[in-house]
Amino acid sequence: MTSLSKKAIQGTIWTLFGYGGSQVLRFGGNLILTRLLVPELFGLMALVNTFITGLNLFSDVGIRPSIIRSERGDDPLFLNTAWTIQVVRGCLLWIVCWLMAKPLSEFYNEPQLLWIIPIVGFVTVLSGFNSTALATLTRNLELGKLTLYDFAVQITTLSVMIVWAKINSTIWALISGTLLGSLLGLIRSHLLNKGSPNRFAWDKTALNEIFSFGRWIFLSTAMTFLANQSDRLILGKLLSLEILGIYTVAYTLSDLPRQLMNKLSSQVLFPIFSKTMDLSNNDFRKKIIKKRWIILIGLGLIITLFFGFGDFMILALYDSRYQQAAWMLPILCLGLWPVILCSTLDKILYAFGKPQYSTIGYFLKFAYMIILLPLSFKTFNLLGVVITIAFNDIPYYIIVNYGLWKNKVSFLKQDLEATLLLIILVIMVLGFRYQLGLGIPFDLVSN
């Protein structure tokens, strides 16, 4: 257990370092690209990326989590069977990209989608050939190498985007970077493989184990896509590409705490939960509570700062074309709190082999979006849309906590205490702004 605790600490440090560095690079690249490219291009690429992400999530059979939690996670036959499934899946997804390009271009009345989707969709083939070493390293909490290689890939990708955009400010700047990033990611994954190279294999026992666990992962990731990406799919129809691009800038910044928590959850917490299932529920719960406080307080402070001063960051860093993102960012940040609470715990249910609670939670979140998003747009216009999106994780939070309660590992009391602390912090920040004569974060909402 001591060794596991040491690996957990090291994994957390590498995850925080990797995430922080990655976001600095991403944010810096985004600032440069928004000055070189018009908002419409970001809106167009947001639609394409949303579709590609959807394909990946709708066909996810849980290969990576199966490797992480399985007792055969280091068995070459198991890994090669998983890799074979992954390769076949990637090729099939690219075929779907070709088939869906025309219907999507007609639905969004955007002819460029007809050729952009198949080209960008080739990333599904490239990622399909990624080595299983990525999952194995995560399983063993060896995250240092992953982090350093990720930096190299990201720096090269952003450099290509920026140089291309400087020479020719078209959608090709974003497309070229996306394809190059996937290619470098493929090369990186095989360089990280310390064992024998992946090869095609077909083991029925491995297949049964992967698909037995993966059937719920498949449903969960499909619902995850519908719940988390439906905003851009729906807004792509309701709003202009310009407004969608502005919203994407605000959403990308507001989503930083969620992405950090997702990284910690998938790369550190899930492997740890999977390796400590032999503890009693009471001992398991006690071990988590103390460490969870550190995570919640840290992310609560980040959310408070983004909520209180995020509008100034937008106005200082982006030109006047993105001014509306200034009032969107604080609202979207505040709405992250329910999913932050969930993301520190939902992988417990995965470790128990019960991902169905997440599946149901994401389905209810998706239902919330398709019902309330068009209605809020019709009634309250853009402000209603942003508020609706901000708090769309509440259904997911309710279901995950029900699942934890059913399995006798509830953390509801800690959630209530942490939420009270966040409310106090938010009130203090608003009071501080008001006393300084800086108004409130939503002053620009009517402009």
Show which of 179, 206, 231 is a domain's final residue.
231
Show which of 231, 251, 267 is a domain's final residue.
231
Angle, CA 24 vertex, CA 18 and CA 29 arms, to 5°: 125
Q: How far is residue 268's CA from residue 219's CA, in Å, rounded to a whole number?
A: 23
Question: Of 104, 126, 127, whose CA–CA distance to 115 is shortest?
Answer: 104
Task: With both helix axes pointing from N to C terminus, report the angle between 39-58 and 172-191 in degrees, rounded to the nearest 10.
Answer: 40
Q: What is the pLDDT of residue 419?
A: 94
3-state secondary structure of 356: helix
Question: Are residue 150 and residue 264 in the same domain, yes or no?
Answer: no
Q: What is the pLDDT of residue 274?
A: 67
Question: Are residue 139 and residue 26 in the same domain, yes or no?
Answer: yes
Element (H, E) at 110: none
Q: How far is residue 419's CA from residue 423's CA, in Å, rounded to a whole number?
A: 6
Question: Are residue 36 and residue 144 in the same domain, yes or no?
Answer: yes
Q: Which domain holds residue 286?
A: 239-447
Question: Are residue 149 and residue 294 in the same domain, yes or no?
Answer: no
CA distances from 421 to 172, 331, 418 (A): 46, 18, 5
CA distances from 99 to 119, 130, 244, 441 (A): 13, 24, 25, 44
Question: Are residue 169 and residue 103 in the same domain, yes or no?
Answer: yes
Spell out the per-residue pLDDT of the chain, length 447, in tens: 446 566 666 666 766 666 667 777 877 887 888 888 887 888 788 888 878 877 776 666 677 777 777 677 678 888 888 889 889 988 998 998 999 899 888 888 888 889 999 999 898 899 889 888 877 777 776 667 777 777 788 888 888 889 998 888 888 888 888 898 889 888 888 888 877 888 898 888 887 877 776 666 666 676 776 777 677 777 777 777 788 888 888 888 888 777 777 777 766 776 677 666 666 777 777 777 877 888 889 889 989 988 888 888 888 888 788 888 888 888 898 888 998 888 878 878 877 777 788 888 888 988 898 888 889 888 888 888 889 988 888 999 999 999 989 888 888 999 999 999 999 999 999 888 888 888 877 766 654
Q: What is the pLDDT of residue 2?
A: 46
Side chain identity, residue 202: W
What is 135-182 written as a DSSP string? Answer: HHHHHTT--HHHHHHHHHHHHHHHHHHHHHHHH--STHHHHHHHHHHH
Name every residue whose Cβ is closer than 8 Å to that of residue 170 and which is 6 or more positions away in sequence.
41
- Global pTM reads 0.64
Question: Are residue 82 and residue 135 in the same domain, yes or no?
Answer: yes
Question: Are residue 189 and residue 285 in the same domain, yes or no?
Answer: no
Q: How far is residue 29's CA from residue 42's CA, in Å, rounded to a whole number?
A: 13
Side chain identity, residue 140: N
Question: Are residue 396 and residue 428 in the same domain, yes or no?
Answer: yes
Name every residue whose Cβ is closer than 8 Å to that of residue 110 and which is 6 or more positions away in sequence.
44, 47, 241
Question: Are residue 4 and residue 94 in the same domain, yes or no?
Answer: yes
Q: How far is residue 2's CA from residue 46's CA, in Å, rounded to a whole number?
A: 44
3-state secondary structure of 336: coil
Question: Are residue 162 and residue 296 in the same domain, yes or no?
Answer: no
Question: Are residue 267 and residue 408 in the same domain, yes or no?
Answer: yes
Name every residue whose Cβ is closer than 8 Å to that of residue 177 and which is 6 or more positions away in sequence.
157, 158, 160, 161, 164
Show which of 231, 253, 270 is a domain's final residue.
231
- How many distinct structural domains can be found in the chain? 2
Question: Are residue 222 and residue 247 in the same domain, yes or no?
Answer: no
CB 396 within 8 A of CB 227: yes
